[in-house]
A = this chain, B = another copy of it.
Amino acid sequence: MKVVIPYKKSSAKSRLSSVLTPEEREEFVEIMLNHVIDSVREAGIENIDILSPSMYGLENMKKARVLLDKSDLNEALNRYLGQTEEPALIAMADLPLLSPDHIKAIISTKEDVCIVPGRGGGTNILFVKNPSCYRVKYYGSSFLTHCSIAAESGHNIEIYDSYFVGIDIDEPDDLVELLIHGKGYAKKYISQKFRLEISRGRVRLSQI
């Protein structure tokens, strides 16, 4: 089986621009990418592809193969899946609470497709046993779309229920989850810049 991680370092994470500079966002996405790669490798998977529209920031990548594709994310991924004969796991690059045990559980699904939802209708991980018979459509309510695509193409689905894999980092409130539940470099990086602001409602982010 193989793992593919779509990734773009340049101008990354624009919805964090109110709290992190462009340089910080680039540093931070690189840390998160490395966390996802390390989690996959620790789960025993060595066949990892990074799918990126640019080599920027990937010049020295040793832990995974870099595939360049300048197309739109969906077009690039569907081309990739169409050429893949073995089971494929698509992991977003911004999952700092992902662990090797999550990966092991997801790939041991008995169903044809395993989908891990992310906040706001997203798909954080998608594991497809027969990728050449499946296509993806990220953005918008991709979780529902990916369920429909599986159903229409006769694939059985498991929905993998995980709070931690469900945390992708797009907005400032997501950094709160990293500060509370995280560990490792991604948490360390964010801890240097922010602290938790405790009130009666949900905890919010506060700049140090």
Tell me the A residues contacting B by CB distance below 8 Å.
Answer: 15, 116-117, 119-122, 139-141, 143-144, 161-166, 170-171, 173, 176-177, 180-181, 196, 198-204
Name the CB-closest residue of B to A120.
Answer: B202
Provide 17 A-B residue pairs closer than 8 Å at the C-beta atoms, listed in order of the A residue.
Answer: A117-B181, A120-B202, A120-B203, A120-B204, A121-B176, A121-B180, A121-B203, A140-B199, A140-B200, A141-B180, A144-B180, A161-B161, A161-B163, A161-B164, A162-B162, A163-B163, A170-B201
User: Which residues on the B side are within 8 Å of A164 (C-beta)?
Assistant: 161
A53 to B26, CA, bound (A): 50
A181 to B15, CA, bound (A): 24
Name the CB-closest residue of B to A181.
Answer: B117
Copies of this chain per assembly: 2
Shortest beta-carbon distance from A106 to chain B in Å: 12
Shortest beta-carbon distance from A193 to chain B in Å: 18
Instruction: From known contacts A140-B198, A180-B144, A198-B140, infer whether A120 and B163 are also in contact, taking CB-CB under 8 Å.
Output: no
Given contacts A140-B199, A161-B161, 18 further A-B contacts (CB under 8 A): A15-B201, A120-B176, A120-B201, A121-B176, A121-B202, A121-B203, A140-B198, A140-B200, A141-B180, A141-B198, A141-B203, A143-B180, A144-B180, A161-B162, A162-B163, A163-B163, A166-B166, A170-B202
Shortest beta-carbon distance from A5 to chain B in Å: 20
User: Which residues on the B side are within 8 Å of A163 (C-beta)?
Assistant: 116-117, 161-163, 165-166
